[in-house]
Amino acid sequence: GAVVSQHPSWVICKSGTSVKIECRSLDFQATTMFWYRQFPKQSLMLMATSNEGSKATYEQGVEKDKFLINHASLTLSTLTVTSAHPEDSSFYICSARDWVSGTGAGANVLTFGAGSRLTVL
């Protein structure tokens, strides 16, 4: 089945530094990837939609200059948390849409990465 690899699985950094998280679709091409963040005991919150070869679409309230998303190829999207601060500490999860062949536009399945735990000191 479809596999999405996310790296690193956890990272600790100092306040003010930048951190890059990679998301790769291993056995399928993903024109669209989604980035979520999740705080403890809460649901996943969509941050942005990443489209291959074009600018990401950010959800309301998400700072595009702080959370830089690059989707340079059909199998790789990256999220860079710039000038990270303790309040950016969270669980970041990427997902890619794997189209179900032979069905309509709505019949697609999101495959999620394992997530990246970011801790900013």
Residues 6 or more apart whose CB falls under 8 angstroms from that of 41 comprise none
Residue type, 78: T
49 belongs to the binding site for other proteins (CB under 8 A): yes
Among 7, 13, 28, 57, binds other proteins (CB under 8 A): 57
Give the angle subtended at the CA of 98 by the CAs of 71 and 20, to the nearest 5°. 30
What is the C-alpha separation between 78 and 94, in angstroms, rounded?
A: 9
CB of 45 to other proteins, least distance (A): 7
Nearer to other proteins, 57 or 89 (CB): 57
Query: How many chain residues bind other proteins (CB under 8 A)?
Result: 30
For other proteins, the binding residue among 46, 73, 85, 121 (CB under 8 A) is 46
Pick the closer one to other proteins by CB: 62 or 82.
62
**Type of residue numbered 23:** C
**CA contacts within 13 A on the Cβ side of 32:** 10
Q: Among residues 35 and 88, whose Cβ is nearest to other proteins?
A: 35
Count of all residues that appear for the chain in the document: 121
Q: Note the residues at the interface with other proteins (CB under 8 A).
A: 4, 6, 32, 34, 36, 43-46, 49, 51, 57, 91, 93, 95, 97, 100, 104-115, 117
